[in-house]
C-alpha cells in the first residue's frame, strides 16, 4: 500500500515514469494522443506546466471535457455508482469490502469473551484513574463492522484533504479555461471523488483486517460511547507472543476502555484532534504541473478496470508542498496524540501491572508497532497526508508517571480539564519542569504569569510572617 496521501507522490527521477504501458518512451512531457493524463494534453490549451502553449484553445478544452466524460462514465459503470463529491464513498465501501475477502462471523462465545474481558478491564481501571467508564457498551466487530462503524469519522478526516486537492484540478487551468468551464467544474470534482474513493477503499480494506480496536490509531474513530474490539485481528496479534490469548484480550480491552474514558470525559479532546487534522488539510499546496509527468501514457479505457485504477493511483499525481502552518499543525497533533497514548499506557500499566505479568512486554510490543510505522500509520498517511507517528510516546508516558508519583492521580487527571493546562512539546523533553509548575501552584493558574507572581508573593509574605511571629495575614500585609 502506498504511504502517500490520495495519489500524492514525491518527485522521482525514475525513467520508467515516462513510458507508456507498452514500454515506449514518451517525449519530455509533450506527449501525443493518449500520452497525457486521461488522453488530453494541457499544453494544447495553455495549462499550467505545459511546455507548449501560450494561447487558450476552447476547442481543445471541449475535447478534454468530452474525454473526461467518457472516463467518468466508464469508471461509474465499473463501480456501479453515480455519487459525486470530494470523495466517492460508495466506491470506497465497495473496494474496501472486496479487499476484506471472506469474513468469519463473530460467534456467541467470542462475543461473550470480549464482554467479559471488557468488564474485568473496567473494574481494574476504576482504581487507576478518576475518569469513570466512558463506553456504555463494548462490542466485538468484524472488519465489515469496523468499516461501517468508523466511516463517518473517516469522512471528516478525508473530506478537507479531498476538497483541497479537488480544487487544484480547476485552479491548475488557465484563467480563460476556468471562466469557460463554468458548471463543467463539477465533472472535475467527480473525477477527484472517484480517484479518492478508490484509494480510500483500498486503504480501509487493508486496515480493517489489522486494527485491534476502534481507537487503535489513537483517534476516536467509532461512535461515541461504543468500545469495540476486533477478535480476529487480536488473535493474529497474539500469535507468537508468550502471553496467553485471554491475557492479551484483557490487555487490549483495557486500552480500549482507557481511550473511551478519556474521550468521553474530556469533552474538548475529540474536537481538538479532528480540528487539527482539518487545519493541516487547509494548508495543502500542490503543483498542478506534476500531473503531466505522473500521468504519462494513461489510456482512458483502462479506467474501466479496477485493477488498472489501482496501478494508476500508485503512480501518484501531485506533490504536496509542506507549509509552515502545516508543520505547526503536525507538531500540535503529534504532541497531543503522544499525550493521549502516554496517558493510556500509564493508566493501563497501573491498573493491570500487578495482575497480568505480561503487561510490560505487551506495552513494548505495541509501542514498537507504532514506532516502526505499522499499517495504521501508513494508512493514515495515505488517506490524510499525515505521517501519524507520535515520536514522543515514551517521553509522554514518563511525564504522566512522574506526575502521578509526585502529585497523585487526581492532579494528573485534572490536567485534562482544559487544553491550556496540557504539556507542550518542550515539556515532554523536560518533564521535571512541568511537574514543578504543577507542584508550584493550582493547576488552573500555572500558565497565568500574573497568577504565578501573586502566588510567589503570597508565599514570601507567609514565610516572613512565620519568621517574625507577627501573625500578620495576607490582607493586612497588602494594606
Nearest to 310 by CA among 217, 205, 385: 205
Q: Of 55-64, 138-147, 273-282, 311-320, which one has max mean pLDDT?
A: 138-147
Distance between CA 142 and CA 269 in Å, rounded?
Answer: 27
pLDDT over 60 at 25, yes or no: no
Sequence spans of domains, the chain: 5-384
Higher pLDDT, 469 or 204: 204
Q: Of 40-44, 215-219, 292-296, which one has max mean pLDDT?
A: 215-219
Q: Of 15-24, 29-38, 424-433, which one has max mean pLDDT?
A: 424-433
Distance between CA 68 and CA 38 in Å, rounded?
Answer: 7
Distance between CA 383 and CA 380 in Å, rounded?
Answer: 5
User: 3-state class of 316 per DSSP?
Assistant: coil
C-alpha cell at 421: 493546562
At 219 the pLDDT is 86
Contacts of 160 (CB under 8 A, 6+ apart): 277, 278, 281, 282
Under 8 Å between Cβ of 393 and 367: yes
Helix (H) or strand (E) holding 154: helix 143-171
At 277 the pLDDT is 78
Under 8 Å between Cβ of 155 and 93: no
Distance between CA 22 and CA 204 in Å, rounded?
Answer: 31
Mutual angle of helices 108-125 and 245-265, in 10-degree steps: 60
Torsions phi, psi of 188, nearest 5?
-65, -40
Under 8 Å between Cβ of 369 and 398: no
At 257 the pLDDT is 97
At 97 the pLDDT is 94
Distance between CA 218 and CA 389 in Å, rounded?
Answer: 10
Give just the sign of the alpha carbon dihedral 278, 273, 386, 210. negative
Contacts of 373 (CB under 8 A, 6+ apart): 3, 387, 389
| Model confidence band, residue 323 (pLDDT cutoffs 50, 70, 90) | confident
| Model confidence band, residue 122 (pLDDT cutoffs 50, 70, 90) | very high
| Model confidence band, residue 22 (pLDDT cutoffs 50, 70, 90) | very low
At 11 the pLDDT is 37
Of the listed ranges 4-13, 160-169, 412-421, 462-471, the least confidently predicted one is 4-13
Count of beta carbons in the 10 Å neighbourhood of residue 451:
14
Give the pLDDT confidence of 342-391 residue by residue, as tens digits: 999 999 999 998 899 899 999 999 888 877 765 556 666 666 666 666 67
Distance between CA 301 and CA 308 in Å, rounded?
Answer: 10
Rg of the chain taking only CA atoms, in angstroms: 27
pTM of the predicted protein model: 0.70
| Model confidence band, residue 477 (pLDDT cutoffs 50, 70, 90) | very low
Query: How much is the mean pLDDT over the chain?
Result: 73
Torsions phi, psi of 135, nearest 5?
-95, 130
pLDDT over 90 at 451, yes or no: no
| Model confidence band, residue 282 (pLDDT cutoffs 50, 70, 90) | confident
User: 3-state class of 321 per DSSP?
Assistant: strand
Burial of 376 (0-12, 13-18, 19+ CB in 10 A): buried
Burial of 196 (0-12, 13-18, 19+ CB in 10 A): buried
The residue-averaged pLDDT of 148-164 equals 86
Q: How far apart are the first and last CA of the chain?
A: 71
Distance between CA 63 and CA 147 in Å, rounded?
Answer: 39
Contacts of 345 (CB under 8 A, 6+ apart): 363, 367, 393, 397, 400
pLDDT over 60 at 296, yes or no: no
**Which residue in the block uniquely carries the three cell numbers 509542506?**
322
Distance between CA 113 and CA 115 in Å, rounded?
Answer: 5
Contacts 24+ apart (CB under 8 A), 459-468: none
Distance between CA 234 and CA 114 in Å, rounded?
Answer: 11
Mutual angle of helices 306-315 and 185-207, in 10-degree steps: 100
Give the pLDDT confidence of 98-117 residue by residue, as tens digits: 989 889 999 999 999 999 99
Distance between CA 20 and CA 64 in Å, rounded?
Answer: 19
Give the pLDDT confidence of 164-191 residue by residue, as tens digits: 766 665 665 566 655 665 655 666 667 7
Under 8 Å between Cβ of 126 and 255: no
Under 8 Å between Cβ of 416 and 384: no
At 120 the pLDDT is 97
The residue-averaged pLDDT of 264-290 equals 78
Distance between CA 399 and CA 277 in Å, rounded?
Answer: 25
pLDDT over 80 at 130, yes or no: yes
Nearest to 349 by CA among 422, 429, 404: 404
Under 8 Å between Cβ of 420 and 411: no
Amino acid at each position: 500500500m502506498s504511504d502517500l496521501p490520495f495519489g500524492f507522490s514525491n518527485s522521482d527521477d525514475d525513467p520508467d515514469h515516462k513510458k507508456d504501458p507498452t514500454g515506449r518512451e514518451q517525449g519530455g512531457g509533450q506527449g501525443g494522443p493518449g500520452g497525457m493524463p486521461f488522453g488530453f494534453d494541457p499544453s494544447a490549451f495553455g495549462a499550467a506546466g505545459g511546455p507548449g502553449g501560450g494561447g487558450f484553445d476552447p476547442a481543445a478544452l471541449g475535447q478534454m471535457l468530452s474525454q473526461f466524460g467518457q472516463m467518468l462514465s466508464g469508471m461509474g459503470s465499473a463501480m456501479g455508482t453515480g455519487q459525486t463529491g470530494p470523495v466517492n464513498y460508495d466506491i470506497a465501501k465497495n473496494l474496501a469490502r472486496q479487499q476484506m475477502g471472506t469474513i468469519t462471523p463473530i460467534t456467541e462465545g467470542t462475543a461473550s469473551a470480549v464482554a467479559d474481558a471488557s468488564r474485568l478491564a473496567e473494574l481494574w481501571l476504576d482504581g487507576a484513574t478518576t475518569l469513570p467508564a466512558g463506553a456504555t457498551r463494548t462490542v466485538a466487530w468484524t472488519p465489515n463492522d469496523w468499516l461501517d462503524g468508523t466511516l463517518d469519522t473517516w469522512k471528516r478526516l478525508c473530506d478537507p484533504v479531498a476538497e483541497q486537492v479537488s480544487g487544484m484540478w480547476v485552479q491548475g487551468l488557465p484563467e480563460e479555461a476556468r471562466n469557460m468551464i463554468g458548471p463543467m467544474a463539477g465533472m472535475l470534482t467527480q473525477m477527484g471523488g472517484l480517484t479518492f474513493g478508490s484509494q480510500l477503499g483500498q486503504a480501509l480494506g487493508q486496515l480493517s483486517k489489522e486494527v485491534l480496536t476502534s481507537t487503535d490509531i489513537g483517534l476516536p474513530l467509532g461512535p461515541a460511547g461504543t468500545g469495540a474490539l476486533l477478535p480476529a485481528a487480536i488473535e493474529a496479534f497474539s500469535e507468537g507472543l508468550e502471553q496467553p490469548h485471554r491475557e492479551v484480550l484483557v490487555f487490549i480491552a483495557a486500552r480500549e476502555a482507557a481511550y473511551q474514558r478519556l474521550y468521553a470525559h474530556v469533552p474538548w479532546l475529540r474536537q481538538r484532534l479532528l480540528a487539527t487534522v482539518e487545519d493541516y488539510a487547509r494548508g495543502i499546496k500542490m503543483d498542478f504541473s506534476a500531473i503531466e509527468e505522473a500521468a504519462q501514457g494513461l489510456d482512458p479505457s483502462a479506467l474501466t478496470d479496477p485493477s488498472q485504477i489501482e496501478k494508476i493511483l500508485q503512480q501518484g499525481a501531485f506533490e504536496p508542498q509542506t507549509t509552515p502552518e502545516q508543520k505547526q499543525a503536525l507538531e500540535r497533533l503529534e504532541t497531543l496524540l503522544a499525550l493521549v497514548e502516554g496517558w493510556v499506557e500509564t493508566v493501563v500499566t497501573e491498573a493491570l501491572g500487578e495482575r497480568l505479568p505480561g503487561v510490560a512486554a505487551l506495552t513494548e510490543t505495541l509501542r514498537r508497532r507504532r514506532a516502526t510505522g505499522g499499517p495504521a500509520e501508513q494508512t493514515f498517511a495515505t488517506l490524510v497526508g499525515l505521517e501519524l507517528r507520535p515520536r514522543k510516546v515514551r517521553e509522554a508516558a514518563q511525564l504522566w508517571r512522574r506526575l502521578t508519583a509526585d502529585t497523585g492521580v487526581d492532579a494528573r487527571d485534572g490536567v485534562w480539564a482544559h487544553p491550556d493546562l496540557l504539556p507542550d512539546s518542550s515539556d515532554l523533553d523536560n518533564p521535571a519542569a512541568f511537574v514543578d509548575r504543577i507542584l508550584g501552584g493550582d493547576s488552573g493558574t500555572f500558565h497565568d504569569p500574573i497568577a504565578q507572581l501573586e502566588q510567589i508573593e503570597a508565599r514570601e509574605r507567609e514565610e516572613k510572617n512565620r519568621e517574625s511571629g507577627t501573625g500578620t495575614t495576607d490582607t493586612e500585609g497588602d494594606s
